[in-house]
Amino acid sequence: FCLSKGLGAPIGSIVVGKSDFIRRCHRMRKALGGQLRQVGILAAPGLIALRDMPQEMKIDHACALELGKALNEIQGLIVDVDAIETNMVIVDVSAVCESTDEIIGALEAEGVLSAACGKGLLRLVTHHQVRWQQVEKAVSAFQAYVYGAIGEARGESNGTEKIAYDPESPVADVTCEYDPELGSVAKRMKRYVDPGNVDA
């Protein structure tokens, strides 16, 4: 199985099996020219991935779930929250842009990377370098784009200046500046990962 996906290693896959099976794999690897010397520099991050990263994947999944919930509350965006089972979030942006390239570029300008995965759909992926602060940054970038687009559609001179958040809005709790102690998204995630860390 692969060590460079959710486990976060820069490279590497491993084969697991009984000793006879592994010996056959070694022989086949050499026959196909797969010998690699000085492989320790690659094995080291693989060992870290196996030892330290499985517990991090739980947080990856929690981040994806909270990201999906927050984006689904933004007018014009659709996220099937129930479908979020791992670290991937699919966002339907067809109601807020004519081309996914447009919103992908706008998000990238704000430091948020995404990819098209179908007509009107974006894919966002969380990993061990995406935590509470980055989730709030992504939500804010989506809000800036969506509310700016709404403002322009209404004929306002500059839609990006019309980003005003109602404190009573259901998305108000994810629009504040990130604070590791007070940020509501962080609190919700901490409750998800470790209920003992946050007051009910």
pLDDT profile of the chain (200 residues), mean per 10:
83 88 89 80 87 88 93 92 94 90 91 92 92 90 81 47 37 34 38 40
Give the DSSP letter string of 129-193: T--HHHHHHHHHHHHHHHHHHHHHHTT-S-GGGG----TTSTTGGGTSPP-TTT-HHHHHHHHHH
Burial of 138 (0-12, 13-18, 19+ CB in 10 A): buried
Residue 17 Cα to chain centre, angstroms: 32
pTM of full prediction above 0.85: no
pLDDT of residue 29: 84
The H or E element spanning position 47 is helix 40-52
